[in-house]
Amino acid sequence: MSGLSNQISLIVGLGNPGLEYEKTRHNVGFDATSAFMTSLGVNFSKQDKYNSVYWEGRFKGRNLLVQHPHTFMNLSGKAVAALARNKEILPAEIIVVYDDMDLPLGKIRIRKSGSSAGHRGVESLIEHLGTAKFSRLRIGIGRAQAETVDYVLAKFETDEQVVLDEVLKASINALTLSLTRGVGYAMNNFNSINHEQEKTNKAD
């Protein structure tokens, strides 16, 4: 599966396992990748292996994997590196989807590489993959008004959920473009859009 180094073969959603963490801000990476899987409308085989759940199938005539590490956020890299090694996937063929407090709710940001910016899950990936050269789709959740841990582990408010629905749709489209046209093309099409404003404009 390690063909072209700019061809995405593995999509990783970051989050924490367990019912108590479902639909929390820190688990938006799980939510976005699950929404993407649903949008495909095809059956992927599900495996529970490498401290994770992952799905494997065909997309546009090639193999594609989607992974949810179940190691908890700060050890995510262990699960991703194990799957990537087994499937012979290069770091440059991975795109990681996760929450970002430095972006407001309504914004997504796609990058081909970069630092962790303090995100524990991304720090773990850099450590275990041995490089920061993997793509990311960062989903804004806004800055905490209370304690950071309480904020990221809380569920979205009702008014936030309306914006999040638009963001998840955009994330599906951004991932699809990253796979079909390349990460750079997706960056140019999505990094400048504020989906909270888009939702407001539609309401007007």
In 91-108, which positions are buried (b, 16+ CB within 10 angstroms) versus exposed (e)?
bbbbbbbbbbbebebbbb
Q: Is residue 68 among the annotated active site residues?
A: no
Name the catalytic one among 26, 119, 128, 195.
26
Nearest alpha-carbon partner for 29 in 147, 133, 119 = 119
**Facing residues of 140 across strands?**
100
DSSP state, 24? Answer: B
User: What is the distance, to the nearest Å, from the Cα of residue 137 to the centroid of all Cα atoms in its chain?
Assistant: 5
Nearest alpha-carbon partner for 66 in 7, 14, 20 = 14
- Residues labelled as active-site residues: 26
